[in-house]
Structure 1
Amino acid sequence: MMMPAFNSAVLKARLSKLGDKQQLAFGALCCERLIPNYLMFQQDAGWGDNVPVRKALDCVWAYLHDQTPSSQEIKNATASCESAAPNSEDFASLYVTSAQDACFAVCSLLDYLFKNDVDRVVQVATYATDSVDLYVQEIEGMEPNDPQLEQKILAHRLMQRELTQQEADLKAIELAPSLSQEFLAQRKASWNNNGKSNLDLP
């Protein structure tokens, strides 16, 4: 059965019924699938630094594991992650937008640590699907004026896999009695893609 198209309003409604850490965990799991996209951009463009992006996401995981980072640590991580984001006008790399999405998604979660705004988590999931959307159009040579464009993107295996994983993660979080370290580790491991990103990049 094909997954329906991403719907931010539906996702927000479901996330809004969950606690802060549950919302954050869903966003962190989405971000894990985006980090390798930044690595591929870095290799392809010969520019960038994945370390601050990884460290920024690790701040979120630390919070989820009850090792709350200080406000200053969160601000520093945000600044470093933003600095690592490439300017799309400066690079011809196929992966530049995906790298931006990875940085901005992680920064959205760091912002959530200050504001507890569910829209920040919805934005993370949006970045994840947007990355796939653009990448699929590029690698498949899709015509932007094709009246079937959106349906073709939705039916693509990469988009279906991302949507399926988002649904699986959200459902598991909704049903879990608690966010134990074992549970979070299990959800991380549920992405059966041998460490590759949501774009199938190593």
Structure 2
Amino acid sequence: MFQFDRAFDARLDRLNPRQRLAFMAALCERLWPNYALYVQTTGHGDASALRSILALLWESLAVKQARIDFERQAEKLAQLEPPAKDDSFGARRALEAVTALAAALDTLRGEAPEAIHEVSLASRGGVRAFIELTEGEEDETRLTALVQEHPLMADERNFQWAVLETLEENSLDGDTRKALRQLGRNEGVSNLGLSLD
């Protein structure tokens, strides 16, 4: 079984800047349904606007000389955050999607070497929070074991490893980008196993 460990982190660190961006974009794709569900249930935010910014991220990978004002996109993204007073589970997961995309934009706007780890951890953290919420285990030791063995966390591990290995084994051409985007979209199912359907 795949694990998140120092070896995984070290392999993330060895990716070149474009590969790192592609890794983050794939994870953002998988976080997007959580944001869209929050918008659908509360009326706060704009799922299509978040999707548009994510599409520009993929475009920057496809067209090296793409003229995209990422400062402006970052400003737009900040306006898509859930209201600060909303501390609901859905708002926190929606905020993870926004924050992950913001971290990816930061890499395009300058140096953000830790962004790839932040996005990886945000996705994992959302899965852990969902397991804690749905399983209701109080004992910390049992909860940690439960999280590690839970099918959603296993799926998260397998997904992140699959993205990493795809990037390590292939050049970042059109076919690879398409495959990564499709992997991230996961037929509309998020890292929490939720979909708009």
Structure 2 counterpart of 1:138, one-letter code: L
Supply the distance in 2 between the matched residues of 1:137 and 1:172 (Cα, whole angstroms): 31
Aligned residues: 195
- CA 1:149 to 1:199, structure 2 compared with 1: closer, same or farther past 3 Å? same
% identical aligned pairs: 29
Can you list the C-alpha shifts for 1:93-128, whole angstroms capped at 9, x where unaligned? x31111000000000000001224331111111111
- How far did residue 30 of structure 1 move? 0.7
- How far did residue 15 of structure 1 move? 2.3
Who is 1:95 aligned against?
90
Who is 1:109 aligned against?
104
Structure 2 counterpart of 1:200, one-letter code: G
Structure 1 counterpart of 2:2, one-letter code: M
SS of equivalent to 2:20: helix
Who is 1:188 aligned against?
181
- How far did residue 74 of structure 1 move? 0.6
Who is 1:85 aligned against?
81
Who is 2:125 aligned against?
130
- How far did residue 62 of structure 1 move? 0.9
- How far did residue 3 of structure 1 move? 3.0
Q: CA RMSD in A?
A: 1.9
- CA 1:198 to 1:182, structure 2 compared with 1: closer, same or farther past 3 Å? same
Supply the distance in 2 between the matched residues of 1:201 and 1:124 (Cα, whole angstroms): 19
- CA 1:95 to 1:148, structure 2 compared with 1: closer, same or farther past 3 Å? same
Contact preservation (8 Å) 1:20, 1:116: no
- CA 1:89 to 1:174, structure 2 compared with 1: closer, same or farther past 3 Å? same
Task: Give the structure, 1 or 2, with the largest relative contact order (CA under 8 Å, sep 6 or more).
Answer: 2
Q: For structure 1, list consecutive stretches of 5 or more residues without a partner in the other structure.
A: none
- How far did residue 70 of structure 1 move? 3.9
- How far did residue 18 of structure 1 move? 2.1
Residue of 43, 62, 67 corresponding to 1:65:
62
- How far did residue 67 of structure 1 move? 5.1
- How far did residue 48 of structure 1 move? 1.4
SS of equivalent to 1:16: helix
- CA 1:120 to 1:135, structure 2 compared with 1: closer, same or farther past 3 Å? same
Contact preservation (8 Å) 1:31, 1:105: yes
SS of equivalent to 1:131: helix
Supply the distance in 1 between the matched residues of 2:194 and 2:42 (Cα, whole angstroms): 15
Who is 1:23 aligned against?
20
Q: When the two structures are superposed, what TM-score results if normalisation uses the length of structure 1?
A: 0.88
Who is 1:75 aligned against?
71
Contact preservation (8 Å) 2:20, 2:116: yes
- CA 1:171 to 1:65, structure 2 compared with 1: closer, same or farther past 3 Å? same
- CA 1:68 to 1:114, structure 2 compared with 1: closer, same or farther past 3 Å? same
- How far did residue 91 of structure 1 move? 4.8
Who is 1:174 aligned against?
168
Who is 1:3 aligned against?
2
- How far did residue 191 of structure 1 move? 5.2
Residue of 13, 30, 42 corresponding to 1:45:
42
Contact preservation (8 Å) 2:26, 2:183: no
- CA 1:147 to 1:15, structure 2 compared with 1: closer, same or farther past 3 Å? closer
More helix by share: 2
Supply the distance in 1 between the matched residues of 2:189 and 2:135 (Cα, whole angstroms): 19
Who is 1:54 aligned against?
51
Structure 2 counterpart of 1:40, one-letter code: L
